[in-house]
């Protein structure tokens, strides 16, 4: 029987002793790998369990997604990998995938009898590390450990600043002579195994927290540099090139590689967010409490933000409450464009938290920001924007750049993630995100704004629209869009998003905060891209929202909806990265958030007569996002990049930056995966 033969081979291969979960990778690895398998079909579940046991894994089976999630939550470090079916009655497999990615950052393998390209692609965009077609054969399961090793390796690399580079380098090199049929990482495993045997390090198996390697801190500046490099080379570039272009001493290819991965995931999430409000909500809700329920920027978020001081939350809250009907509201935020603008203008002063002057700037900038945003946003859109923004915020938080960053994620996320709001926000966040995403496309159409940012703005009602464009996979667009809850069609009744006026906003939206819908949204917004540019230019501003920037950049490049996807990816990664530099972001986030707000306000909020509210909203959202994002991102990233050229982005940026800096924040509720609102293209 296989089991015995496997055992035999395992014992032969190495010299070390018993494998213990959490222990160093011993000879017996991958034996003992702790697998959680979820499938509603009892026959399949039984067979899978038996197969996994035959592979010497430690198996836990669940027939419901909820059960699986609660098991994972109860014991966050109790599992190494998750196998999940796609079609399940209580929860969609992809939703579960997102939850896991965000909260636990575990590798997830999807399974289905469905081998259609679309479904498989969905798995990819949602961050699944593999997709198995049923009926699953034992051979396919024998190699699933590679995903665990790969992930850890990447995480480990993230940590190392310079020093353990060699070891890291060694790993990839070893993969050349992989014996395993499908595992290219066999070499890695061997290498790492060897390394472990020799050095008895427990890095690979242990929690990343135990790693002693110096962590690469992806500061805002660094992230901006990264994003700039990626934009220049294209999202499909290789880490080596990025590294060369960035030319940062001490940075390794591995650091860049893992950061890039996260960034891509982030962008993908952003683009993918738009469509599914509900998904978002689920995700958001499922997200870490640290994220603090991005879900809704609604008053809660605002409050939180305000409380934290970073974000002119108060203003936001006020605005939101006023314009949007308060936080809980997903209900059709009556965010008319006009209102939005007003909101934004209000925001401006607030954003600054003390900066007064910036407000004006921000106001203007807001306008700019929203310029891409159709001024005729229906209240719904606005609302959704708001929600979206919130959600984005939440989303960002929740959606770690590479989805899985939940714990390590980006500090931004943590920061942003206002736990309190979590629950509420989660749902809201989703809405927001969704709305934004949806709206994004709409925005462009109706508002003509590139607000894509988060798709909030315009498509609040239409979640549907944007589906593919935004491809921001995991990153909640937040950075740029951050907050346009516009997308949330369902939630926001009125779409009167003043998105039009706030170009910056659009950018944010496109950022793809919305993971699912973002894709679509972003495309629509097209306009968002410019916002990134705006942000980028504002280097001086520490709006770390590199994500935003990225978004901006992303948008610029792809002015077209299609490109948004790419941008989003960038943004996402950017955001993701931002997320990493968690520490930095805190302070930055605030400012970013503020800045973003400012951005919105500065954006031609005014233009949108009715869009004011929207703008404000957007701004708020943006700001919120920025704040959140900022936590990770260094404020340095000038939001200027994000903002399109429409308005004195520089002004905006500076305003934003100032705001951000002044914001004390800590809580960027909107934990946009590091997207700093700063980049909200104005």
Partner 1 sequence: MDRNRLHNQVASMRRSLFDQGYLDDQFIQLEELQDDTNPNFVQEVVTLFYNDSTRLIQNIEQALNSRPIDFCKLDDYMHQFKGSSSSIGAKKVTNECTAFREYCNAENAEGCIRSFQQVKQEHAILKRKLEVYLQTVRQASQTA
For residues 22 and 80, what is the distance between their CA atoms, to the nearest angstrom?
A: 9
* CB closer to partner 1, 137 vs 212: 137
* CB closer to partner 1, 2 vs 210: 2
Q: How many CB atoms lie within 10 A of CB 14?
A: 17
For residues 507 and 456, what is the distance between their CA atoms, to the nearest angstrom?
A: 10
> Applying CB under 8 A, what is the total number of residues that bind partner 1?
24
Q: Are 460 and 472 spatial neighbours (Cβ–Cβ below 8 Å)?
A: no
Q: Cis (ω within 30 of 0) for the bond into 283?
A: no
The residue from 25, 35, 44, 594 that contacts partner 1 (CB under 8 A) is 44
CB of 356 to partner 1, least distance (A): 57
Nearest 5°: phi and psi at 569?
-60, -45
* CB closer to partner 1, 35 vs 329: 35
3-state SS assignment for residue 253: helix
* CB closer to partner 1, 44 vs 499: 44
* CB closer to partner 1, 49 vs 169: 49
181 binds partner 1 (CB under 8 A): no
* CB closer to partner 1, 3 vs 121: 3
User: Considering only CA atoms, which of 304, 307, 462, 319 is closest in space to residue 378?
Assistant: 462
207 binds partner 1 (CB under 8 A): no
Residue 143 is given by DSSP the state: T
Residue 444 is given by DSSP the state: I
136 binds partner 1 (CB under 8 A): yes
User: Considering only CA atoms, which of 107, 106, 195 is closest in space to residue 143?
Assistant: 107
The residue from 11, 18, 90, 137 that contacts partner 1 (CB under 8 A) is 137
64 binds partner 1 (CB under 8 A): no
CB of 489 to partner 1, least distance (A): 22
Give the list of residues 6+ apart from residue 118 with CB closer than 8 angstroms, or none. Answer: none
The residue from 8, 20, 42, 210 that contacts partner 1 (CB under 8 A) is 42
* CB closer to partner 1, 50 vs 240: 50
50 binds partner 1 (CB under 8 A): yes
Q: Are 388 and 439 spatial neighbours (Cβ–Cβ below 8 Å)?
A: yes
Residue 297 is given by DSSP the state: I
Residue 328 is given by DSSP the state: T
Task: Count Cα atoms within 13 angstroms, Cβ side, for 601.
Answer: 35
CB of 46 to partner 1, least distance (A): 6
43 binds partner 1 (CB under 8 A): yes
Sign of CA dihedral 221, 224, 230, 233: negative
CB of 51 to partner 1, least distance (A): 6
How many Å is the maximal CA-CA distance in the chain? 76
CB of 127 to partner 1, least distance (A): 23
Q: Cis (ω within 30 of 0) for the bond into 89?
A: no
113 binds partner 1 (CB under 8 A): yes
Tokens of residue 208, six digits:
């990343």
- How far from chain centre, in Å, is Cα 200? 35
138 binds partner 1 (CB under 8 A): yes
Give the list of residues 6+ apart from residue 153 with CB closer than 8 angstroms, or none. Answer: 168, 171, 188, 192, 204
CB of 11 to partner 1, least distance (A): 18
The residue from 11, 66, 135, 244 that contacts partner 1 (CB under 8 A) is 135
Query: Which range of residues in 17-25, 92-100, 134-142, 356-364 is near partner 1 by CB under 8 A?
Result: 134-142
120 binds partner 1 (CB under 8 A): no
Query: Which range of residues in 1-9, 25-33, 369-377, 629-637 is near partner 1 by CB under 8 A?
Result: 1-9
The residue from 10, 40, 64, 248 that contacts partner 1 (CB under 8 A) is 40
3-state SS assignment for residue 641: strand
3-state SS assignment for residue 76: coil
Residue 35 is given by DSSP the state: E
CB of 398 to partner 1, least distance (A): 29
* CB closer to partner 1, 43 vs 209: 43
* CB closer to partner 1, 89 vs 249: 89
The residue from 47, 124, 248, 664 that contacts partner 1 (CB under 8 A) is 47
* CB closer to partner 1, 143 vs 483: 143
The residue from 7, 76, 134, 170 that contacts partner 1 (CB under 8 A) is 134
Rg for the chain (alpha carbons), in Å? 22
For residues 680 and 621, what is the distance between their CA atoms, to the nearest angstrom?
A: 10
CB of 134 to partner 1, least distance (A): 5
Q: Are 417 and 674 spatial neighbours (Cβ–Cβ below 8 Å)?
A: no
3 binds partner 1 (CB under 8 A): yes
The residue from 14, 22, 114, 237 that contacts partner 1 (CB under 8 A) is 114
Q: What angle separates helix 503-510 from helix 611-632, to the nearest 10 degrees?
A: 50
616 binds partner 1 (CB under 8 A): no
Q: Write out the binding residues for partner 1, residues 72-101 only, by CB under 8 A.
A: 85, 87
35 binds partner 1 (CB under 8 A): no
Count the helices and strands in the chain (H runs, E runs): 29, 6
CB of 94 to partner 1, least distance (A): 15
For residues 568 and 573, what is the distance between their CA atoms, to the nearest angstrom?
A: 8
Instruction: Give residues in contact with partner 1 (CB under 8 A).
Output: 1-4, 40-44, 46-47, 50-51, 54, 85, 87, 112-114, 134-138
């Amino acid at each position: 029987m296989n089991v015995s033969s496997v055992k035999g081979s395992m014992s032969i291969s190495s010299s070390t002793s018993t494998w213990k979960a959490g222990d160093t990778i011993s000879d017996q690895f991958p034996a003992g790998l702790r697998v959680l398998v979820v499938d509603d079909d009892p026959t399949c579940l039984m067979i899978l369990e038996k197969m996994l046991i035959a592979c010497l894994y430690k198996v836990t089976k669940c027939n419901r997604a909820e059960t699986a999630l609660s098991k994972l939550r109860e014991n966050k470090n109790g599992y190494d990998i998750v196998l999940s079916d796609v079609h399940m009655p209580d929860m969609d497999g992809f939703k579960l995938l997102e939850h896991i990615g965000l909260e636990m950052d575990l590798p997830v393998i999807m399974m289905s009898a469905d081998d259609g390209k679309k479904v498989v692609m969905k798995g990819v965009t949602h961050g699944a590390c593999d997709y198995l077609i049923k009926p699953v054969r034992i051979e396919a399961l024998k190699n699933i450990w590679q995903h665990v090793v790969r992930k850890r390796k990447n995480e480990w690399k993230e940590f190392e600043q310079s020093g353990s580079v060699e070891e890291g380098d060694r790993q990839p090199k070893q993969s050349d002579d992989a014996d395993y049929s499908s595992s290219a990482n066999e070499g890695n495993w061997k290498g790492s195994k060897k390394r472990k045997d020799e050095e008895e390090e427990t890095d690979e198996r242990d929690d990343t927290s135990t790693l002693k390697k110096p962590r690469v801190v992806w500061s805002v500046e660094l992230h901006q540099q990264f994003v700039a490099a990626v934009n220049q080379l294209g999202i499909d570039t290789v880490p080596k090139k990025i590294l060369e272009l960035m030319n940062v001493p001490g940075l390794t290819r591995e650091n860049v590689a893992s950061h890039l991965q996260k960034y891509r995931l982030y962008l993908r999430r952003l683009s993918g967010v738009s469509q599914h409000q509900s998904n978002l909500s689920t995700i958001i809700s499922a997200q870490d409490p640290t994220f603090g329920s991005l879900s809704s920027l609604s008053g809660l978020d605002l409050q939180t933000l305000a409380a934290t001081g970073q974000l002119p939350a108060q203003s936001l809250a006020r605005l939101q409450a006023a314009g949007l009907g308060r936080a809980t509201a997903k209900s059709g935020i009556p965010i008319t464009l006009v209102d939005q603008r007003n909101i934004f203008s209000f925001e401006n002063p607030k954003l600054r938290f003390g900066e007064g002057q910036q407000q004006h700037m921000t106001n203007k900038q807001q306008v700019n920001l929203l310029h891409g945003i159709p001024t005729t946003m229906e209240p719904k859109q606005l609302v959704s924007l708001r929600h979206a923004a919130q959600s984005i915020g939440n989303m960002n938080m929740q959606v770690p750049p590479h989805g899985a960053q939940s714990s390590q994620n980006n500090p931004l996320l943590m920061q942003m993630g206002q736990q309190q709001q979590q629950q509420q926000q989660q749902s809201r966040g989703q809405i927001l995100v969704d709305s934004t995403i949806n709206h994004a496309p709409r925005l462009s159409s109706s508002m003509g704004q590139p607000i894509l940012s988060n798709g909030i703005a315009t498509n609040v009602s239409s979640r549907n629209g944007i589906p593919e464009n935004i491809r921001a996979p995991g990153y909640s667009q937040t950075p740029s869009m951050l907050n346009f809850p516009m997308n949330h069609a369902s939630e926001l009744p009125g779409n009167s998003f003043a998105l039009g006026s706030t170009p910056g906003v659009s950018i944010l939206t496109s950022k793809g905060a919305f993971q699912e819908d973002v894709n679509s949204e972003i495309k629509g917004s097209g306009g968002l891209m410019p916002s990134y540019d705006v942000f980028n230019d504002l280097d001086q501003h520490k709006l770390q929202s590199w994500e935003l920037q990225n978004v901006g950049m992303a948008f610029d490049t792809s002015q077209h909806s299609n490109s948004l996807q790419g941008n989003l990816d960038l943004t996402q990664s950017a955001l993701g990265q931002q997320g990493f530099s968690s520490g930095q972001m805190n302070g930055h986030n605030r400012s970013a958030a503020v800045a973003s707000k400012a951005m919105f306000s500065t954006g031609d909020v005014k233009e949108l007569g009715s869009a004011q509210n929207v703008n404000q909203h957007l701004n708020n959202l943006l700001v919120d996002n920025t704040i959140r994002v900022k936590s990770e991102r260094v404020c340095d990233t000038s939001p200027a990049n994000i903002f399109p050229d429409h308005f004195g982005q520089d002004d905006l940026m500076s305003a934003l930056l100032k705001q951000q800096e002044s914001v004390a924040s800590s809580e960027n509720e909107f934990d946009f995966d590091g997207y700093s609102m700063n980049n909200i293209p104005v």
